[in-house]
Amino acid sequence: DADVTQTPRNRITKTGKRIMLECSQTKGHDRMYWYRQDPGLGLRLIYYSFDVKDINKGEISDGYSVSRQAQAKFSLSLESAIPNQTALYFCATSDPGQGLFEQYFGPGTRLTVT
């Protein structure tokens, strides 16, 4: 969905490096989410945010942190990358206040930690 963008699209980094993945949206949604996708495991929630003042841990937040710089921007950081953080990462948004309970996803960032 072109309304939710993620940068970079691909990244290779080394163990121990700090890396930031960025997400921007033009949908005007308040709720934003970060997921990781691993084969056979579906999508697992890392962090979610109601608005710029509200950040919450998801089921797999260890080793990750986030920053909600503005309504439209939600960044995910890996403080010290490790190989088992190699995965596909997705940002998503939603606006249930408008009756839109589905989430809208960015194109993903493929991260490889060597």
Partner 1 sequence: AQSVAQPEDQVNVAEGNPLTVKCTYSVSGNPYLFWYVQYPNRGLQFLLKYITGDNLVKGSYGFEAEFNKSQTSFHLKKPSALVSDSALYFCAVREPFSGGYNKLIFGAGTRLAVHP
Interacting residues with partner 1 (CB under 8 A): 1, 4, 31, 33, 40-45, 48, 50, 56, 90, 92, 94, 96-97, 101-108
For the bound state, the minimum distance from the C-beta of residue 49 to partner 1, rounded and expressed in Å, comes to: 9
58 vs 80, which CB is nearer to partner 1? 58
For the bound state, the minimum distance from the C-beta of residue 60 to partner 1, rounded and expressed in Å, comes to: 13
Residue 108: which region, alpha, beta or left (left: phi > 0; alpha: psi -120 to 50)? left
H helices within 4-95, ranges in order? none
Question: Which residues does residue 32 pair with via DSSP β-bridges, in sequence order?
Answer: 49, 93
For the bound state, the minimum distance from the C-beta of residue 15 to partner 1, rounded and expressed in Å, comes to: 25
Helix, strand, coil % over all residues of the chain, rounded to 5: 5, 60, 35
